[in-house]
Amino acid sequence: MAEVVLFHHVHGLTPGVVAFADALRDAGHTVHTPDIYEGRTFATLDEGVAHAREIGFGEVIERGVRAVEGLPDGLVYGGFSLGVLPAQKLAQTRAGARGALLFHGCVPVSEFSPAWPAGVPVQVHAMDADPSFVDEGDIDAARALVDEADDGELYLYSGDRHLFSDNSLAAYDAEATTLLIKRVLAFLANA
Structural domains in the chain, CATH included, are 3-190 (3.40.50.1820)
pLDDT (tens digit, 9 = 90+) per residue, 18-72?
A: 999 999 999 999 999 999 999 999 999 999 999 999 999 999 999 999 999 999 9
Rounded Cα distance, 51 and 143, in Å: 29
The pairing of strands 152-157 and 30-32 is unpaired
Contact 88, 100 (CB under 8 A): yes
Rounded Cα distance, 33 and 48, in Å: 18
Question: Which position has the higher pLDDT, 182 or 45?
Answer: 182
The predicted model gives 77-96 an average pLDDT of: 98
Report which secondary-structure segment, H or E, holds 85: helix 84-93
The predicted model gives 132-149 an average pLDDT of: 97
- Binning pLDDT at 50, 70 and 90, where does residue 180 land? very high
Q: Specify the 3-state DSSP secondary structure of 125.
A: strand
- Phi first, then psi: give them for residue 149, nearest 5 degrees: -65, 145
The predicted model gives 127-153 an average pLDDT of: 97
The predicted model gives 74-99 an average pLDDT of: 98
Mean pLDDT of the residues in the chain: 97
pLDDT of res. 151: 97
- Binning pLDDT at 50, 70 and 90, where does residue 73 land? very high
pTM: 0.97
The pairing of strands 152-157 and 122-127 is parallel
Contact 113, 93 (CB under 8 A): yes
Angle separating helix axes 45-55 and 57-67, nearest 10 degrees: 80
pLDDT of res. 190: 92
pLDDT of res. 149: 97
Count of helices and strands (H, E) across the chain: 7, 6
Contact 83, 7 (CB under 8 A): yes
